[in-house]
Amino acid sequence: MRKEGMTADRMIAFSDAVFAVIVTIMVLELKAPDLPDLSALVPLWPWAISYAVSYLFIVIIWINHHHLMRFVGPPTLGLIWINFVHLFLVSLLPFATAWIARTKLASTPVAFYAGLFVCIDVAYNLFEREVLARANTPQMSSSMRRMARRRSVAVLASFATAVPVALIAPGLSFGLICGALILHLRPDVSGSR
């Protein structure tokens, strides 16, 4: 029993370390202006917005991941692989964030960014489904599972819609991404604390 708990703990520790590295890589992309004036910050708005949204996305992923890990028990090999795929996709976020910032939210980079969110969300949904399918706790009722599934579908649909919208209206697409993130601010779909 102790060995199984340590396996889950190792998966959690590794995931936490990967999230920390991703955030560190992302912040290293931020470059301070050469001028000492506050007006020198104005041209950096694409970096600030894309960094803030990506950072929020990583925080939401980490919080939801942490919340789900309470239900894991001994992780299966399949769950470990799904987790690795999910982390790999999240690790591409600093690249996508830098691209949309450098191009000032141009259509193709925003479409790529939204597409990456789709891929990350699909991997997360697979992870969530695997965890919830194995969860046998009174804390996770069938109605809570249904609510989690509905929320996941709504978020995925919003991210998927943002991809083609980015080709016409990248700002609106970016707004769809931000709106979808709001649905995952709270990991507990029951409404209880």
pLDDT for the residue numbered 5? 52
Task: Find tokens 């000492």 and name the residue.
Answer: 36
Radius of gyration of the chain (CA): 18
pLDDT for the residue numbered 95? 95
Q: Is the dihedral of CA 67, 72, 75, 79 positive or negative?
A: negative
The CATH number of 2-182, from 1.25.40, 1.10.357, 1.20.1410, 3.30.70, is: 1.20.1410
pLDDT for the residue numbered 109? 97
Q: What are the structural domain ranges in the chain?
A: 2-182
pLDDT for the residue numbered 75? 86
DSSP 23-39: HHHHHHT----SSSSGG
pLDDT tens digits, the chain, 193 residues: what are they?
A: 444 455 788 889 999 999 999 999 998 888 888 889 889 888 888 899 999 999 999 999 999 888 888 888 788 889 999 999 999 999 999 999 999 999 999 999 999 999 999 999 999 999 988 887 877 666 666 777 788 788 889 999 999 999 999 999 999 999 999 999 888 887 765 544 4
User: Where does residue 79 rank: exposed (0-12), middle (13-18), buried (19+ CB within 10 A)?
Assistant: buried
Q: How far is CA 169 from CA 107, 166, 172, in A?
A: 7, 5, 5
CA distance 120 to 115: 9
pLDDT for the residue numbered 29? 83
pLDDT for the residue numbered 189? 56
